[in-house]
Amino acid sequence: MIVRAVIVGILIVAFAAPVFADQKSRGVDRREHRQKERIKQGVKTGELTKEEAKGLVQEQREIRAKEREMKSDGTFTKEERKELQQDLNEASKNIQEQKHDEQTR
């Protein structure tokens, strides 16, 4: 009976950890979404060339891959969130610079 309770407890923790990690990453996910929309809008208006957009999209992919790797152990620590936020700050700056340089498509 005790073994069964321990196994149930382990399973609950194993399945609950990713849920809690997702709740902690909502701000990151929102920022990723907004940045993706900014890139799409920049292409649509001609503020971004195809090559600029390609580089920015690649940067977003790398950030998402890093996020997946950080979450792969079922936790998403405060330090990991801070690191991703810094990456997103840099990506946002890159989007701003590329959209407002003198290149047009």
Span 32-41, pLDDT tens digits: 999 999 999 9
Residue 76 has a pLDDT of 93
Q: Is the pTM for the entire model greater than 0.85? A: no
The rounded distance, in Å, linking the Cα atoms of 11 and 8 is 5
Give the torsion sign (CA, 37, 42, 43, 44). positive
Task: Extract the tokens encoding 75.
Answer: 């936790």
Residue 6 has a pLDDT of 60
DSSP 46: T
Identify the residue with better confidence: 5 or 92: 92
